[in-house]
Structures are given as C-alpha cells and as structure tokens.
Amino acid sequence: MKTDEITVNGVRIGGAEPKEDEDAQLIDLPSGARAEVRKGHGRDLMRAQRAAAGGDASAVIFALIAELTRVDGRKIVYEDVLEMDLADVMALQAEVIGENFDRPPQRASQASFNPDSQSRS
C-alpha cells in the first residue's frame, strides 16, 4: 500500500491532499474562518455513526460535520467541532443538514371530514 493511500477515519495521513471537491459549498463562518462543506455519501454517515458510538443524534451530526468539512483548508475532526464557536457550529450544521437531508415534498393531505359537506336527509 502506498503512503498516499493510508487513511485514518477517512483522513488521508500521507501523500498529497486530495483536490477540492467541485460540488463543495464554500461558506464564510461568523468567526471569519472559511469552510468548505462537500456533499455527503453513505460512507460519511457510517463513519459519523461510528465516531458517535453512543448513537446520540446530536453527536452524529457533529461527527458528520467533521467528515464533510474542511476549515481554512485543513481537515477537521469531531473534537474540533466540539471546540468551535457556537455560531460557527450552527452555520456548519445548517449547511450539512440543508445539503444532505433535503426532505421530500410533503404529500397533499387527505381531504378532511367536514360534516357540513354531507347531504342532509
């Protein structure tokens, strides 16, 4: 195995850094840092769930932020997200959830029962 193929928790530890993701969103965080949030895949969610071993939904979101985000050009880890300013975390959370968890359109609700619409005898 080449050193540029070795990763730990999805983070490349040897060789050149991968090129920027063309589909990534660039956002300016409230702290002034610049974040790049790439589109997520199933493997990213799997890694995030493993990192948040307790299964807490909030922890999974934080771990997913770490999987998908680079801040000022460097990869971050779960613990980095825990130490970020709240405003930055909220901005990243909105970006990750908005991009990766688009909800399908709501179905039109069934017509509700209206007793006045019934014919009277």
pLDDT at 46 over 80: yes
Domain with 88 in it: 20-100
Model pTM score: 0.66
Q: How many domains does the chain have?
A: 1
Q: What is the mean pLDDT of the chain?
A: 79
Condensed to tens digits (0 to 9), the pLDDT of residues 25-42 reads: 999 999 999 999 999 999
Q: What are 62-89's pLDDT values in tens digits? A: 999 999 999 999 999 999 999 999 999 9
47: in domain: yes
Question: Is there a domain that residue 75 lies in?
Answer: yes
CA distance 35 to 33: 7
Average pLDDT over residues 95-117: 60
Q: Is residue 64 part of a domain?
A: yes
pLDDT band per the 50, 70, 90 thresholds, residue 16: very low
Identify whether 15 is part of a domain.
no
Q: Look at residue 67 and tell me if it is in a domain.
A: yes
